[in-house]
Amino acid sequence: MRNIGLVLENSLLQLVRRTAVDIPADVEAVVRKACADEPQASNARAVLETILENIRLARQVDAPLCQDTGGLLFYVQVPAGWDTNCFASAAGAAIARATREGTLRQNTIDAVTGQECPLNLANGSPSIHFTQAARDTIDVRLVIKGGGSENVGCQYSLPNEELGAGRDLEGVRRCMLDTAFRAQGQGCAPGILGVCIGGDRASGYACSKEQFLRKMDDRSPVSVLSALEERALQEANQLGIGPMGLGGKTTLLGVKIGSLSRVPASFFVSVSYMCWAFRRRGILLESGGGIIRWLY
């Protein structure tokens, strides 16, 4: 068991390092396109070129893409009956090493005392979602999400008088536009919206963040949601908020919408905001904890 633990820990350390440093190709591609779309001598273009240079430099010097190494969200699919405590322990050890070496900033604070929680390990850190399935490999996905973007997410309870949003897809559209507008550049635009229609206040937000496991070029398999994703993206960009809120053509890079069932009395629309530094990676592990291949 100890041997598996160490192999797993090393695999997870590699995952943490790569996620913090090396932005995935699908995200970089949309940033490049957004950059090319902005006029040459514009602040928007200069910002996006700085971002692309930062992406390049982070890989070159093997250092964190962004200094807010955020909260770590693990999504783990394990074989039925697999020891999830072993995973949690290995993940904790990997995070401790990543913090000591400067890959992760000392970024975790006790909300009551204000004291730092050493090595980013505390109640609530990291966040690990486990699902079991009939499988013999382990699918581990990691999203690193900074505080700035987290602060500009929003959850709506429909109907919402102020937005004129009823309990329908038009209401959902108004909620998404509202989030993008309110965020301005504060979430480090251009960002990505992860949205959940339905659920309760907890599951709605959780599901909205799971949308960030989707690739930038995918579309919802539900045709009305796919159309809404496209429309919400176009409309957010018509706001003209631009990179960092300094004005420009690209305010959002993507919109991903999922849904859950709801109780009759509630209709929540949960919108999470991901910044341009969309740090999302994954690894497929064999049962001994070694990496078979990288996902994304």
Residues of this chain that bind another protein (CB under 8 A): 40-41, 43, 45-47, 49-51, 53-54, 57-58, 61, 63-69, 101-102, 104-107, 116, 146-148, 151, 159, 164-168, 170-171, 174, 177, 181, 184-186, 188, 235, 238-247, 275-277
Using the minimum distance from each CB to another protein, give the nearer residue, 64 or 92.
64
By C-beta, is 195 or 244 nearer to another protein? Answer: 244
Q: Closest distance between another protein and the C-beta of residue 148, in Å?
A: 5
Q: How far is the CB of 97 from another protein (least distance, A)?
A: 14
DSSP letter for 212, please.
G
* 194 DSSP β-pair partners: 256, 272
Which residue, 108 or 211, has its beta carbon nearer to another protein?
108
109 DSSP β-pair partners: 116
Whole-angstrom CA distances from 128 to 74, 150, 247 are 5, 17, 37
Shortest Å, Cβ 295 to another protein: 23
User: Considering beta carbons, is residue 204 or 248 the nearer one to another protein?
Assistant: 248
Q: From CA 216, how far away is CA 236, in angstroms rounded?
A: 16
Helix axes 2-21, 84-100, angle to 10 degrees: 50
Q: Residue 66 CB, nearest distance to another protein (Å)?
A: 4
CA-closest candidate to residue 16, choices 240, 260, 246, 291:
291
Q: Give whichever of 78 and 229 is closer to another protein, judged by the CB atom.
A: 229
Query: Which residues have CB under 8 Å from 158's CB, separation 6+?
Result: 165, 166, 167, 171, 175, 267, 268, 269
How near is the Cβ of 208 to another protein at its closest, in Å? 21
CB of 138 vs another protein, minimal distance in Å: 29
Residue among 116 and 136 whose Cβ is closer to another protein: 116
283 close to 16: Cβ distance less than 8 angstroms: no
Tell me the C-alpha distance between 273 and 271, whole Å: 7
Q: How far apart are CA 109 and CA 94, in angstroms?
A: 19
Nearer to another protein, 79 or 240 (CB): 240
Q: How many residues does the chain have?
A: 296
**Residue 53 beta carbon to another protein: minimum distance, rounded to whole angstroms:** 6
CB of 72 to another protein, least distance (A): 15
Q: Is the peptide bond before 243 cis (omega within 30 degrees of 0)?
A: no
Q: Nearest-CA neighbor of 104 among 279, 262, 294?
A: 279
Would you say 11 and 291 are in contact if contact means Cβ atoms under 8 Å apart? Answer: yes
Rounded to a whole number, what is the distance in angstroms from the first to the last CA of the chain? 29
Question: Closer CB to another protein, residue 78 or residue 225?
Answer: 225
Count of H helices and E strands in the chain?
A: 8, 9
